[in-house]
Structure 1
Amino acid sequence: MIRPRSVAIVTGLICLACLGGWIWLYSLIQFQESGELPVPGLTEAVEVLRDGRGIPYLFAANTRDVYIAQGFITAQHRLFQLEVYRRLLEGRLAEVLGETALGSDRRQRILNPAGHARAHWQRLEPADRIALQAYVDGVNAYVEHYGHEHHLEFRLLGMEAEPWEPEDLLAIAHFVASTQSQSFTSAAVMQRIVDRIGISNARILFPHLGALEPEPVSTHAGASIDAAGDGDSSELGTQPSGPGFGSNAWALAPSRATGGAAVLGNDPHLDARTLPGIWHPIGLYTPERRAIGAAVPGLPGLLVGRNESVAFGVTNAYGDTQDLYLEVLDPDDPTRYLDGERSLRLVIREERIRVADAAAPDGYRDEILRVRETRRGPIVSDLPAMAATGHLMSLRWTAAEPEATGSRLGFDRLWQADSVSQLLEAARDIGLLTLHVVYAADTGEIGSQATGRIPVRARGDSSLPRRVDGADDWVGWIPPQWMPGERDPAVGWVAAANHDTRPAYFPFQYSEFFAPGYRYRRLVELLDRDVPLSPAEQWRIMLDRRNLQAERLTPGFVAAADRLLATGRGGETLGRARGLLAAWDFEDRADRPESLIYQHAYRELSRRIMVDVLGEGLTRAYLSHTYLWKERLDDILSAGDRTPWRGPDAPSPDAVFESALMAALDTLAAEHGNDVDRWRWGDAHRIRFTSPIRPEGWGRDFLGGGEHPYDGSGETLLRAAHGWHGSFDVQLHDSLRFRADMGDNEAVQASLAGGVVGRQFHRHFRDGLSAWLSGEAETWWFSEEQVRANARRSARLVPVESP
């Protein structure tokens, strides 16, 4: 018989053990948020106030000190995230993650953003060096003097924080630039299509190819185009991202807003499913200016935000900064290549990749990667994902060109602009990143400006790899004043949604790779109204679920259902699905079945219209580049014509609509049951937020943010894009929602898909998710009075006196 006293003792011991464990864990996830913190490098003390969401507001005596403080506070919050970024872009993830990260490491070693950043650092002007150096001094102050409170994640993964160099920060910007353009992987896919169906048929899919003559091609020794033609090239189409990075940004003139002042809205579309997310909210205050917004961890200043004079947001402009070249090895010497009439020696760059391996004697093994380079750039066909093309191809990229990257950063000065003119000057100095900067000013001015350096190409177009002939195809750069942009348009609004923003008769080849225009056209419908928009209506723009692509193509599925039913080829499931689609309001709602039916049917349709011509492997690669094909294929499908590239024996578009719809319904019945009314888009279209220390397996949802049904799709303003193969899980989404009314000098509205602090179990690790999922607008303070009134914690970063 167990005595009650024994039970009480045992229970008490268990409680004490749990309490002790929690106290120990709590001590590992906390950092000093109050009192004084010595920080080397500061000239004067910096006050740090944090609100109830953990957002830090930094009050410094000068710009250099505010950058040191920004680096220090970012390291406090996101040091582990910074370290992951550095290892990712340097190709050092395999040191921790082993074989699973080896593909990523190989890619980064070949593309070499870290090497380009080191060269770029040498060219920067002193003012830009000061900004990066001050930020990195703040990071290093935390790394070197606050090791006792470094993130728990370092201990769990056996990592140590290392000191930073300013080139490491610049490499983050170069890595961002590498994700902005998909032109080199899309060009590789297009080359395979030309190899498969010929240039004349390819011009039907890609009308802009009409100006190009087909290039003679050569292949790897021992490889043939036919052999590579139907291989598994799924990876080729999914680098760097299947759905296509993007964003929405818009600005209203005072006449278009009920408050009578200019308004900016911005929601960048990125993959922020790994907590705490990509953006770091922060306030920067000096005697000259005050600003609130979101920064990219590792980069000084703000990329989205506002100060007293201007508000600014960004989208990806998709300027074409990358060209592929069809290289030919010297038949007499494979260590050389032909450059017109010359035979030149390949540059061989040897990269040693350290790979965690439990079977190795010391827990690591080394892989030696030999990177081959021509005078244009690295041989990217050595990447496994590119080898399926069968061609020997090099990559030329503006990030490696001194004239393109220039001597100014530009993005570090956006938050300091005191006028539209200063903002545009900073934007035009951004040579590395191809952005659309959209702005609204306290003067009522609104507009947009594309950034980056885009090469002027002698042959005009770069959609296909170019044959090497010894000449330099890049003959200059599009002048910054010619880059696409608008200033105070008469309609009273401006918008950017990754669409083609080139004005009529634009004299340069800018890009042929843009998002379908559905999101932009929906913005036009919402912004171009007869009555001014209220703040609530402005916020709802970012939550809009109407799918204009579905509105365009759904009648084709309804007509297909009618034909099938009229000839007795359909049953009750088809009849009910037809009724739902015919009555659909084209809102992509997680709690309704229509989007589930449409998305399955559209996926089947796009595959079936291509697979009999391209084969499974190439179709998979082609469809993974949604920006490459989607709107053009929609044009073909809407026209209903039998297109010659599919051949005389191919099924008619009507027959493809019918077979696609029936295949989709069969799949849905197998996965979701026979009751169509119980199907839900949110059962397939879900978003999962994970912890970086446990992205999969047991405990994933406990450590992360859980899995949630989610509205929207790839073509709605509430962006929630899925990959084109496999599940419909959300990959790309509105990582941040930001609205700044220039008539409101107290606060901005925002919502963050994650949290402010990147420390597992911290109270601000994921506390923004609830409001983000519900579509609620939160308040980020702007005025000093409101910051102080709403501060929950106060700290001082103080200078360290010299000995």
Structure 2
Amino acid sequence: MSMKPARIALFIVVLLALAVWILLPKIDSYNPGGSARIAGLSGPVRIVRDENGVPYIFAHTFEDAIAGQGFVTAQDRLFQLQMMRMLSQGRLSELVGEPGLAMDTMVHLIDVAAQANRQTNILIEEDRAMLQSYVNGVNAYLVQRTDEISLPLRRNPPQPWTLKELVTLQIFNSWGSTVNWRQELLSQSLIDHLGVERAAEISQLTINADDEAMARASSNYAYQAAPLGITAKLADALPAADASGSNSWVTGSSRSAGGLPIVASDPHIDARRLPGFWHPVGLITPEWRAVGGAAAGGAGIGIGRTNFIVWGVTNGYGDMVDVFVEQEDPANSNHYLEGSKSIPFETRQVQIKIKDASAKNGFRSHTLNIRSTRRGPIVSDHGFPVASGKLLSLRWAVPEYFNEVLTTRRLMLAKTTAEALAAIGHVATPLTFIVADLHGNIARTGAGFIPQRKKGDGAAPILVNGTGDAWGARIPPAEMPQVQNPKSDWLATANHRILPADYAYHYSTFFAHSWRYRRILERMNAQDVWTTADHWALQLDNKNMFAEQLAPLMAAVLMEDEATRAAAEILQAWDYRDDADQAAPLIFQSLLRYYARAVVQDELGEALAAQYLKDYYYWHERIFKITIERNALWIDDINTEKKETREDLFRRAGASMLAELVPQYGPDPADWRWGGAHTITFSHPLLRGDLAAKWIGGGTHGISGSGETLNRAAYQYAAPYRTTFFASMRMVMDLSDPDKIEAHISGGVSERLFNSQMTNSLPSWISGTPNYWWFSDAAIAEHQVSELLISNQ
């Protein structure tokens, strides 16, 4: 008896699905074992991988280990490497067309290529050898494994890398952590619109929670009163680094259960595109070993531990860039003025290749004409004109304070915190490091090439008037904000203001809010001895210290209105934890958004208010201060005859909250869930969008946390509740544990399409459970599943 047609069809569909499931991973796969060659090795290199695909590279020398790292990075992340190469060279438009033009323009304005030329020429020999070893490893893979080149690149395989290209990428990455210049333009927009005094009233407020006596530091803009006619849309004309952040802390020997320091570090970036930003790796020689997270194209370890030290990293927001107001010479448009002195612009022309299906050969050319003063490129020529005769130039510190050291080699090879601090003194990027060693020493220090400012504080553009240079030498490494071995035996950084009250320099006016650090402070004061499990739990902590202060004030007012009483009761019963299964976090975040807008929009207007609220760190502490102090000048709505109070604005926010949430989630606030609105989507490396993410990416997930919690999950004001910045990697590193690091990343080791290792760390990231990156030879051997042997023959 024959099968019915429907059953036959179902059988065929199942067979096809099974074939696809079996064959798809093989389309874009590689052999983790076998043999290979890298020219210039001093001895054989052995690379083993564990069950999660994490590579551990055994070599006779440091340089050989780095060569092996280059090989496995190309094996796992070749498409990502190529994307970063083109991005750092100002060639993004070749891949994505017109949407990439703004980024390419920025790269050419700051002239990353020229800076890379200079840096390459002066590299210290040990750094040159390290970077060249990495390049050798990448190129060996490109030449020898042509049959397993990453699928997206098979039609046009990448050209071999050069040392200069790798240096270019390092310099571009340093720029990527350089913020504040867009905030200067926002400050200038406020000055133009409100005048200096009123603009200062809503300038950014930064707080050092360790010293409340001087906690409230902000700029009064006293040195800059000239209106420039900057429009609200100016900030979108050219891309700038986003104000993301990170957490890192350490408990010293007396406060760690194993008797040696424990460091926790979780960098917050936008890592929604799989397989994520970080590539876990181990580097092992007979005398030294390091395990941690590395960036594609980043030789060595970015965050990790060795057999001597351990370190975590956050963005420190040291201010390495200033905007200057230049005057074009009215008698000669090819010159600019410094006082009465007329000086010719430096000029250069760049051709940008843009992907364009309608153009001959699929590309068209865009000509970029760049003028520069002695401070830097004129950025106002490119998308945002300012007042007649005025120009804005951008001055970046890195090219002015170049030294011969570029890599983190010295940090990785340091044996004590003292040696680590000396090495960090050469780091150009504005970071804050947490460091500990086997002797029990702990330290926190700022890094970066921060200028000693003679004029202004970096909060708003500086007028060039011919009275001397606004910058002096960089702040000496020994005078960066630094703490060693405090009596409390713990240290932390959450991108907040860490400057002591008597700090001598204008380090920065831009930092994160204090709420994450306040939660660390609260927990450290409540518990003496910490295990690795305690550290891990703190990284996943969802308590919102900001909400604990503000939500009760909102709830008390909303209880008075029958329409908002149900939501108010939920706020009153809240434990202030931004858990995905609670309704209160959604109610609070919606109220906060509408309340903040109500405070500033009447004075600023819709467009400028949108720019102000877009910069989360800029307004957060300021709006809270206005609220607590009942600042009538800002709380009152100038568009009405009534004198509004904060209670009036809370009621307005409550009505707006209901109008937003009821249509989406129903009339009963008890049915709402933070995780129903607060989501994160992990997209496929090539195909964007929720549908592709669902079927071949990492999916969309409701998650806990917020922008104010240690379990960071921040969203953009204009795109509420869709998470963009989060813990891209979590690490807890115990110097008393000889065998492992507790860690996971928001993705996987490999970018290979349809490969399980593209997302194999994602389930543990979503659930909040740690994976293990092995440290000892015995632990690595126990978990080994493959072996690759590399020789120089």
- TM-score (normalizing by structure 2): 0.93
Q: C-alpha distance in 1, partners of 2:21/2:198?
A: 66
Could you list the runs of 5+ residues in structure 1 that have no partner in the other structure? 220-224
In the alignment, what sits opposite 2:206?
none
CA–CA distance in 2 between the matches of 1:617 and 1:238?
18
- Amino acid across the alignment from 2:600: M
- Determine if the alignment matches structure 1 residue 777 to structure 2 residue 770: yes
Distance 1:576 1:145, change over 3 A: same
SS of residue in 2 equivalent to 1:240 = coil
Structure 2: distance between partners of 1:159 and 1:651: 63
2:360 alignment partner, SS class: coil
1:416 equivalent to 2:413? Answer yes
Counterpart CA distance in 2 for 1:6 and 1:684 is: 44
- Letter aligned with residue 766 of structure 2: L
- In 2, the alpha carbon distance for the partners of 1:697 and 1:387 equals 38
What is aligned with 1:35? 34
| 1:380-432 Cα shifts (integer Å, max 9, x gaps) | 22343x5579862110001221xx231112523322111222211111121x1
Aligned residue number for residue 666 of structure 1: 659
Superposed CA deviations along residues 533-552 of structure 1, whole A, max 9, x for unmatched, are 23221210100000011111
| CA distance, structure 2, for counterparts of residue 267 and residue 542 of structure 1 | 7
Contact 1:237–1:625 at 8 Å: present in 2 too? no
For residues 46 and 634 of structure 2, the distance between their equivalents in structure 1, rounded to whole angstroms, comes to 69
Determine if contact 1:410/1:428 at 8 Å carries over to the other structure. Answer: no
Tell me the CA shift for residue 4 of structure 1. Answer: 6.1
Kindly tell me: are residues 201 and 792 of structure 1, through their superposed partners in 2, closer, same or farther at Cα, counting changes over 3 Å? same
What is residue 235 of structure 1 aligned with on the other side?
Answer: 236
CA separation in 2, counterparts of 1:238 and 1:40?
Answer: 40
Q: Deviations 1:546-565 (Å, cap 9, x if unpaired)?
A: 00111111122113214xx2
C-alpha displacement of 1:111: 2.9
**Which has the higher mean CA deviation after the structures are superposed, 15-24 or 753-762?**
15-24
Question: Deviation per CA, 1:664-696, whole angstroms, max 9, x where unpaired?
Answer: 122111222211111111121100001121012
- For residues 32-75 of structure 1, the C-alpha deviation after alignment (integer angstroms, 9 at most, x for no partner) is 21121122232211000100110000000111111111111111
| Alignment match, 1:469 | 465
1:167 maps to: 164
> Equivalents in 1 of 2:238, 2:766: separation in Å?
30
How far off its partner does 1:3 sit? 6.5
1:176 to 159, 173, 178: 173
Distance 2:6 2:660 in 1: 56
Displacement of 1:702 after TM fit?
Answer: 1.6
Code of the aligned partner of 2:436:
A
- Residue 585 of structure 1 pairs with residue 575 of structure 2: yes
Q: 1:427 aligns with which of 424, 427, 447?
A: 424
**How far apart in 2 are the matches of 1:126 and 1:213?**
44
How much has 1:77 moved relative to structure 2? 0.7
Counterpart code for 1:706: G
CA displacement at 1:773 relative to structure 2: 0.5
Deviates more, 1:258-267 or 1:733-742: 258-267
Instruction: Provide the alpha-carbon RMSD of the alignment.
Output: 2.4
**Partner residue, 1:314:** 313
Q: 1:299-698 residue pairs with structure 2 within 5 A?
A: 299-384=298-383, 386-387=384-385, 392-401=391-400, 404-430=401-427, 432-470=428-466, 471-562=468-559, 565=560, 570-571=561-562, 573-643=563-633, 651-696=644-689, 698=691
Give the Cα separation in 2 of the matches to 1:177 and 1:210.
Answer: 29
User: CA-to-partner distance for each residue in 1:333-365, whole Å, 9 max, x for gaps?
Assistant: 222221222222222221211111111121111
* Equivalent pair of 2:182/2:235 in contact (CA under 8 Å): no
CA gap 1:547/1:265 in 2 versus in 1, 3 angstroms: same
Counterpart AA for 2:218: H
> In the aligned structure 1, how far is the partner of 2:516 from the partner of 2:549?
13
SS in 2 for 1:121: helix
| CA shift in 2, pair 1:460/1:235, >3 Å | closer
- Listed one character per residue, the Cα deviations across residues 214-269 of structure 1 (whole Å, up to 9, x for unaligned) are 3435x5xxxxx2xx54x54562697332xx21110000012212222211100011
Distance 2:653 2:482 in 1: 41
The answer as to whether partners of 1:439 and 1:448 remain within 8 angstroms in 2 is yes
**Aligned equivalent of 1:106:** 105
Note if 1:254 corresponds to 2:253: yes
What's the secondary structure of 1:320's corresponding residue?
A: coil
2-structure distance, mates of 1:632, 1:745? 46
Q: Which amino acid aligns with 2:781?
A: R
> Structure 1 CA distance, aligned partners of 2:238 and 2:590?
20
- What is the CA-CA distance between 1:10 and the residue it aligns to? 9.6
Q: 589-598 or 203-212: which moved more?
A: 203-212
Q: Is the 8 A contact 2:278 2:295 kept in 1?
A: yes
Call closer, same or farther: CA 1:126–1:519 in 2, change over 3 Å: same
Q: Does the CA contact (< 8 Å) of 1:721 and 1:731 recur in 2?
A: yes
* In structure 2, C-alpha distance between the alignment counterparts of 1:15 and 1:575, rounded to whole Å: 53
Answering whether residue 702 of structure 2 is matched by residue 709 of structure 1, we say: yes
Amino acid at match of 1:198: G
Cα distance change of structure 1 residues 622 and 419 upon mapping to structure 2, 3 Å threshold? same
Alignment of 1:71-110 (within 5 A): 71-110=70-109
Partner of 2:779: 786
Q: Report the alpha carbon displacement of residue 159 of structure 1 after superposing the two structures with TM.
A: 4.1
Cα deviation, residue 292, structure 1 = 0.8
Partner Cα distance (2:163, 2:123) in 1: 11
**In the TM superposition, what are the counterparts of 1:117-132 in structure 2 within 5 Å?**
117-132=116-131
Using the alignment, how far apart are the partners of 1:38 and 1:656 within structure 2?
Answer: 68
Q: 1:19 to 1:730 in 2, by over 3 A?
A: closer
From the superposition, tell whether residues 372 and 10 of structure 1 become closer, same or farther in structure 2 (CA, over 3 Å).
same
Separation in 2 of the partners of 1:276 and 1:128? 28
- Does the CA-based 8 Å contact 2:262-2:732 persist in structure 1? yes
| 1:761 correspondence with 2:754 | yes
Alpha carbons of structure 1 residues 109 and 237: separation in structure 2 relative to 1, 3 Å: closer
AA at the equivalent of 1:581: L
Question: Matched residue pairs, number?
Answer: 775
Alignment partners' CA distance in 2, 1:34 and 1:319: 44
What is the SS of the residue equivalent to 2:336?
strand
Q: Secondary structure at the match of 1:393?
A: strand
Q: TM-score, normalised by structure 1?
A: 0.92
CA distance in 1, matches of 2:16, 2:38: 37
Cα distance in 1 for partners of 2:273, 2:787 equals 29
Assess, with a 3 A threshold, how the Cα gap between structure 1 residues 416 and 99 changes in structure 2: closer, same or farther. same
Q: Which residue identity does 1:538 align to in structure 2?
A: H
* CA spacing shift, 1:409–1:778, aligned 2, 3 Å: same
Cα displacement (A) at 1:654: 2.4
**Which residue pairs with 1:222 in the alignment?**
none
Residue 213 of structure 2 is matched in structure 1 by none
Q: Which amino acid aligns with 1:193?
A: L
The Cα of 1:528 is off from its aligned counterpart by 2.2
Alpha-carbon offset, residue 107 of structure 1? 2.5
- Confirm or deny: 8 A CA contact 2:106 2:239 kept in the other structure: no
Give the Å deviation of 1:659: 0.8
Contact map agreement 2:580 2:676 (CA 8 A) in 1: yes
CA separation in 2, counterparts of 1:12 and 1:110? 60
Distance 1:238 1:684 in 2: 28
Question: SS of 1:776's equivalent?
Answer: coil
Q: Which amino acid in structure 1 is aligned with residue 308 of structure 2? A: S
